[in-house]
């Protein structure tokens, strides 16, 4: 149990375009979903926390207008990187949690902006 999927697993896009990444909890209802960013050989950096039906809470330094998060249902959250630039290239990982459970991570999405 506790499987989290992400789609796509990798994406290459041109600078200035927007990219949407989906995160789904496949066998449980996720009241809270988290979005992380990870640079090579570094640990996870929390970008934002989203609760189903509420606006996401962004960490300091993360632009909410650039990284749009929608948690429309108990099994789906999306992260949209708007007007992506090369410096947005990274590994984006979501995690999901139901009440009183720990976090379960998705497999990650590798974004490369040319």
Partner 1 sequence: QKEVEQDPGPLSVPEGAIVSLNCTYSNSAFQYFMWYRQYSRKGPELLMYTYSSGNKEDGRFTAQVDKSSKYISLFIRDSQPSDSATYLCAMSSGLTGNQFYFGTGTSLTVIP
The residues pairing with 22 across neighbouring beta strands, listed in sequence order, are 7, 78
Q: Which is nearer to partner 1, 15 or 29 (CB)?
A: 29
| Residue 61 lies near partner 1 (rule: CB under 8 A) | no
**Contact present, 22 and 6 (Cβ < 8 Å):** yes
Euclidean distance between CA atoms 72 and 77, whole angstroms: 6
Tell me phi and psi for residue 86, to 5 degrees.
Answer: -50, -35
* Residue selected from 13, 80, 89, 105 as contacting partner 1 according to rule CB under 8 A: 105
**Residues binding partner 1: number (CB under 8 A):** 26
| Contact residues for partner 1, defined by CB under 8 A | 2, 4, 6, 32, 34, 41-44, 46, 49, 91, 93, 95, 97, 99-108, 110
């Amino acid at each position: 149990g506790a499987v989290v999927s992400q789609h796509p697993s990798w994406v290459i896009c041109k600078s200035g375009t927007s990219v949407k990444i989906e995160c789904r909890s496949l066998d449980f209802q996720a009241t809270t979903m988290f979005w992380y960013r990870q640079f090579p050989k570094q640990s996870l950096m929390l970008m934002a926390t989203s609760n189903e039906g509420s606006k996401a809470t962004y960490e300091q330094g993360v632009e909410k207008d650039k990284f749009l998060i929608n948690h429309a249902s108990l099994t789906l959250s999306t992260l949209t990187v708007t007007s992506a630039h090369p410096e947005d290239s990274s590994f984006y990982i979501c995690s999901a949690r139901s009440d009183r459970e720990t976090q379960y991570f998705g497999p990650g999405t590798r974004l490369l902006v040319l």
